[in-house]
């Protein structure tokens, strides 16, 4: 989930990440303040520079072969092996405060896609919110998951709306409107319309009542498939709600489709993802790795299996 506090934000762009977070050089202000000026806050930072586009490179170890593990010989791999000598630091989740567990998991399990969730309450009040505990679970049936913190003070509007209406849309956030999407993380009263806060445009859905985001190049119309409140082991009070959505319709801007017309070109989509803290990531480079087939690798794998001892440590 995104932290919703009054902060002084700054955005720092590098080749792979956009960073937003509290700056030590400016006073805490609210981004919803009428005099808030993000340009003034960012004036001392390098400007955002859109990349020429997503590109494919060779993989890190193009000469890697079966059984070689972490192959030595490159600066990257040798540095990684040197770092392994420092050993492990271990946390027991049973004895770690929830806030620290949150920091650890959200900084380690990265990058995370962001669900920009549109819902409507039973009273007809629209809601728009970004959620980074999100993933596609399967294509048959087409399911996605979104999980929401169940605050003891007040359940999130997104949760309440999905529970009552059993409909929502998930929209993918791209670089051109990431600031507008981020504005929807404000912890406002339920009566507040985040569409107005963001300035984004609602687009009528085909099957469900909640609109899609017109600026989003990917919109998924969902019906509620399952809804589960989850409590920590041994506790009675739930702390998280897990929502499974059945994807009924997939809408994609023609402008971001690949040449085949049936897949999305990542260089055109320009999606953003979450890292730890308040940092966002962007796509820069990728590489292809072919999946092994048993037919082509059987002989080599069998040879490794017969000549190498098992290497499984015991507790």
Return the domain boundaries, the chain.
102-289
Strand arrangement of the beta sheet that strand 17-22 belongs to: 9-13, 17-22, 279-282, 272-274, 112-113
- CA separation, residue 67 to residues 28, 64, 147, 304 (Å): 53, 9, 38, 7
| Burial class (CB within 10 angstroms; exposed 0-12, middle 13-18, buried 19+) of 66 | exposed
pLDDT at 3 over 50: no
Identify the band that residue 42 occupies on the pLDDT scale cut at 50, 70 and 90: low
DSSP conformational letter for 96:
S
d(C-alpha 79, C-alpha 4), whole Å: 37
d(C-alpha 131, C-alpha 162), whole Å: 14
Q: What is the pLDDT of residue 248?
A: 98
- CATH code 2.30.110.10 for 102-289: yes
Backbone angles phi, psi at 273, to 5 degrees: -135, 170
- CA separation, residue 177 to residues 87, 192, 219, 269 (Å): 41, 20, 15, 12
For CA atoms 173, 178, 184, 185, the dihedral sign is positive
14-37: pLDDT as tens digits: 334 544 433 333 222 233 344 444
Identify the band that residue 154 occupies on the pLDDT scale cut at 50, 70 and 90: confident
- Whole-model pTM over 0.85: no
Pairwise pLDDT comparison (84 vs 25), residue with the higher score: 84
d(C-alpha 130, C-alpha 179), whole Å: 11
Residue 286 CB neighbour total at 10 angstroms: 12
8 A C-beta contact, residue 124 and residue 294: no
């Amino acid at each position: 989930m995104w932290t919703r506090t009054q902060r002084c934000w700054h955005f720092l762009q590098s080749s792979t990440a956009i960073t937003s977070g509290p700056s030590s050089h400016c006073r805490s202000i609210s981004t919803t303040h009428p005099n808030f000026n993000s340009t003034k806050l960012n004036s001392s930072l390098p400007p955002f520079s859109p990349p020429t586009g997503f590109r494919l490179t060779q993989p890190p170890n193009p000469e890697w072969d079966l059984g070689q593990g972490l192959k030595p010989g490159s600066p990257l791999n040798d540095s990684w092996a040197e770092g392994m000598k420092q050993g492990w630091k271990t946390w027991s989740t049973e004895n770690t405060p929830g806030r620290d567990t949150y920091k650890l998991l959200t900084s380690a399990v990265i990058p995370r896609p962001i669900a920009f969730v549109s819902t409507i309450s039973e009273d007809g009040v629209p809601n728009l919110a970004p959620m980074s505990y999100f993933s596609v679970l399967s294509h048959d049936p087409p399911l996605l998951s979104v999980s929401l913190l169940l605050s003891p003070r007040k359940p999130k509007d997104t949760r309440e709306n999905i529970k009552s209406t059993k409909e929502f849309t998930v929209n993918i956030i791209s670089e051109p409107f990431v600031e507008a999407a981020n504005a929807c993380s404000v912890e406002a009263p339920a009566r507040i319309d985040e569409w107005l806060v963001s300035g984004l445009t609602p687009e009528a859905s085909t099957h469900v009542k909640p609109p899609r985001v017109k600026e989003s190049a990917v919109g998924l119309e969902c019906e509620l498939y399952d809804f589960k409140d989850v409590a920590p082991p041994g506790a009675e009070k739930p702390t998280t709600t897990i929502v499974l959505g059945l994807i009924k319709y997939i809408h994609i801007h023609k402008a971001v489709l690949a040449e085949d017309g049936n897949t999305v070109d990542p260089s055109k989509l320009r999606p953003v993802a979450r890292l730890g803290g308040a940092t966002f990531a962007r796509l820069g480079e990728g590489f292809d790795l072919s999946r092994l087939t048993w037919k082509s690798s059987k002989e080599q794998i069998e040879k490794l299996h017969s000549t190498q001892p098992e290497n499984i440590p015991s507790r």
